[in-house]
Amino acid sequence: MRMSPTSPRTMNKPRWRASAVAAVLLLALVSPAAPNASAHVRGHHQHSAASVLSWNETASAAYTTSKFSPPVFAVGMAYVQAAVYNAVVGIEGGFDQYKWHARAHRGASVDAAVAAAAHSTLLTYVVDPVALANVEAAYITALGAIPDGRSKAAGIRFGERAAAHIVKLRTGDGWMDPSVVFSEPAAPGIWRPTVAGGAYGAPWAGEMRPFLLRRHDQFRPSGPPSLTSAQYAADLNEVREIGSASSTTRTPEQTEIAHLFGDAPNNFPAQLQWAFRDHLTRHPGGILRAARYFAAADLSAADAVIAAWDAKFAYGSWRPISAIQLADTDNNPATTADPTWTPLIATPQHPDYLSGHTAVTGAVTSALTRLTGTSRIDLNIPWLDVVPVVRSQHYESASQFNVSSIGARIWAGIHTRTADEVGNKVGSKVGAYGMQHYFAPTG
């Protein structure tokens, strides 16, 4: 049943940055903390962030091996990073825990706690046997590097407690709920599969209980432009021209960015995890700030997915490929049908309005800007077609990343501008709300 940001149309030539970062990034942390937290962190022992970075990579690899789609991947990372954050803060102190109030025994190993928290959480949400075997191997290796004794044992116990708390907290949250089905009959303006036999992707995300927001529809926007409006025609004609597989107006740079954010294996949540680790490696700090960075970014990203899928499920608007091929049914004299039109990138199997990709970008940039006290997010988004990664696209500022994200989906031919821009605005609200209510310095 269906409950039923203004950006330039072109971008400056991208700056490609070569990178030879190894598969496991084991240094530390983030750009300077926000002003209200900096003094709090500077006075604390800066324990190495290596374990937090390593287990983020292990979780990301497990979800990749499990072939999790972007929405599933994004939510899955939130579970892990929430547990790791609580484990670290429960030992190191300094910040409010995420929906928990617990402290470890004095002297507990924070590295053992991180390993146990991530490992135990992954055992709940990963079922692929190869991925599970890799997680177990990583856990054995991590614990083997920590001297045996009371500190290690206490850390393991506390990490397992942190994981158990998150699993209990999230029980019944709607993760992978098969009962949520989009069943609106196909009609002009209404989503329908864009490939033969294609099912609606992750409909459950639209009704899932959020991590940071009060409700999944908390920031639901008004609906997309009506089919007969001038805005609808402008959106459709733009993507028809520049997003076509055979477009002559899309620049080579725009084509490259569209592929970066659309081609397999460039799963966007996986790209973000790599970018976060790379950033934290290039901006050394400590384990507290690393755990907080991941938690703020990943829980905001998960809620952006939930907010975007809520709107997708509520409005169920058709994708550009359907709208262009069937434009003779929209009663809009400013659009023309082209039954042979195809986009540059294969269209994902869920509605146009609003864009999940730009919502996640808006949430992440909003959260990180507030977390670090600067809009200079300094992220490298990687091409994941080669391991180790050898090239990435650099985004110095939040606004640059948002503009590129909005453009990429239009240039790929898979989203309209309104869906992208509204998605980005909704995501920005999600990130701001999360940072207003969570991850604050104690006191």
325-367 tens-digit pLDDT:
999 999 999 999 999 999 999 999 999 999 999 999 999 999 9
The pLDDT value recorded for residue 43 is: 40
**Mean pLDDT confidence for 106-119:** 98
Identify the CATH class of 16-172+225-437.
mainly alpha
Q: Could you identify the residue written with the tokens 């496991």? A: 24
The pLDDT value recorded for residue 422 is: 98
The pLDDT value recorded for residue 165 is: 98
The pLDDT value recorded for residue 198 is: 85
**Better-predicted residue by pLDDT, 387 or 370:** 370
Domain ranges of the chain: 16-172+225-437
Question: In a 3-state reduction of DSSP, which class is residue 356?
Answer: helix
Alpha-carbon gap, residue 292 to 296, rounded angstroms:
6
**Better-predicted residue by pLDDT, 219 or 443:** 219
Of the pLDDT bands very low, low, confident and very high (cuts 50, 70, 90), residue 11 is very low
The pLDDT value recorded for residue 35 is: 36
pLDDT, tens digit (0-9, with 9 covering 90-100), for 389-416: 999 999 999 999 999 999 999 999 999 9
| CA atoms within 13 A of residue 102's CA, in its CB half-sphere | 20
Q: What is the pTM of this model?
A: 0.90
The pLDDT value recorded for residue 45 is: 58
Alpha-carbon gap, residue 162 to 100, rounded angstroms:
9
**Given 3-state DSSP classes, what are the helix, strand and coil percentages for the chain, each rounded to the nearest 5?**
50, 5, 45
* Angle (nearest 5°) at CA 240 between 314 and 350: 25
pLDDT at 21 over 70: no
Alpha-carbon gap, residue 378 to 276, rounded angstroms:
10
The pLDDT value recorded for residue 46 is: 74
pLDDT at 7 over 50: no
pLDDT, tens digit (0-9, with 9 covering 90-100), for 244-257: 999 999 999 999 99
The pLDDT value recorded for residue 152 is: 98
Q: Could you identify the residue written with the tokens 């609106």? A: 184
pLDDT at 82 over 60: yes
The pLDDT value recorded for residue 32 is: 33
pLDDT at 23 over 50: no
Neighbours of 246 (CB within 10 A): 9
Per-residue CA distances from 385 to 76, 133, 260, 270, 392 (Å): 22, 23, 10, 12, 11
Mean residue pLDDT of the chain comes to 91
* Angle (nearest 5°) at CA 187 between 184 and 191: 60
The pLDDT value recorded for residue 134 is: 98
Tokens of 3: 């409950």
The pLDDT value recorded for residue 269 is: 97
pLDDT at 146 over 70: yes
Question: In a 3-state reduction of DSSP, which class is residue 222?
Answer: coil
User: 55, 114 in Cβ contact below 8 A?
Assistant: yes
Least confident of 18-22, 84-88, 124-128, 290-294: 18-22
pLDDT, tens digit (0-9, with 9 covering 90-100), for 200-238: 999 999 999 999 999 999 999 999 999 999 999 999 999
User: 153, 113 in Cβ contact below 8 A?
Assistant: no
For the chain, first and last CA: distance in Å?
Answer: 46
pLDDT, tens digit (0-9, with 9 covering 90-100), for 292-312: 999 999 999 999 999 999 999
The pLDDT value recorded for residue 196 is: 74
pLDDT, tens digit (0-9, with 9 covering 90-100), for 174-185: 999 999 999 999
The pLDDT value recorded for residue 197 is: 72
Percent of the chain with pLDDT over 90: 87
pLDDT at 423 over 60: yes
Which residue type is seen at 122? L
Question: In a 3-state reduction of DSSP, which class is residue 190?
Answer: strand
The pLDDT value recorded for residue 13 is: 38
Q: Which strand ranges, in their side-by-side order, compose the sheet holding 16-18?
A: 16-18, 391-395, 379-382
Alpha-carbon gap, residue 144 to 137, rounded angstroms:
11
Of the pLDDT bands very low, low, confident and very high (cuts 50, 70, 90), residue 29 is very low
Query: Any alpha helices (H) in 249-317, and if so which ranges?
Result: 252-260, 268-282, 287-315
Alpha-carbon gap, residue 278 to 22, rounded angstroms:
10
Which secondary-structure segment (H or E) carries 372? Answer: helix 356-372
Q: Could you identify the residue written with the tokens 């948002």? A: 402
Question: In a 3-state reduction of DSSP, which class is residue 380?
Answer: strand
Alpha-carbon gap, residue 303 to 206, rounded angstroms:
10
Of the pLDDT bands very low, low, confident and very high (cuts 50, 70, 90), residue 199 is very high
The pLDDT value recorded for residue 130 is: 98
